[in-house]
């Protein structure tokens, strides 16, 4: 991202960096997680607790 872009303002850098961070942490598959995105790993346990009350 940073090596191939020319930025015209600090705000533009902040927006693009945040967009990349969110994609990386929520959408992009990670090999260490079996090529699944990391966010479902943190959400699923909560959903299972709600759907299977004890």
Give per-residue pLDDT as tens, 1-29: 567 788 899 999 999 999 988 888 777 77
Would you say 25 and 38 are in contact if contact means Cβ atoms under 8 Å apart? Answer: yes
- The verdict on residue 2 lying in a domain is no
pLDDT at res. 50? 52
Domain range for 38: 10-51
Residue 24 lies in a domain: yes
What's the domain count of the chain? 1
43's CB contacts (< 8 A; 6+ apart) are none
Examine residue 3 and state whether it is found in any structural domain, yes or no. no
Q: In the prediction, which pLDDT does 9 show?
A: 94
pLDDT, position 8: 93
Give the whole-angstrom CA distance, residue 3 versus residue 16: 13
Cβ pair 43, 52 in contact under 8 A? no
Residue 35 pLDDT more than 70?
A: yes
């Amino acid at each position: 991202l940073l090596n191939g872009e020319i930025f015209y303002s600090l705000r533009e850098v902040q927006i693009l960096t945040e967009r990349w961070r969110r994609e990386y942490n929520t959408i992009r598959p990670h090999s260490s997680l079996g090529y699944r995105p990391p966010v479902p790993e943190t959400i699923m346990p909560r959903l299972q607790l709600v759907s299977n009350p004890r």
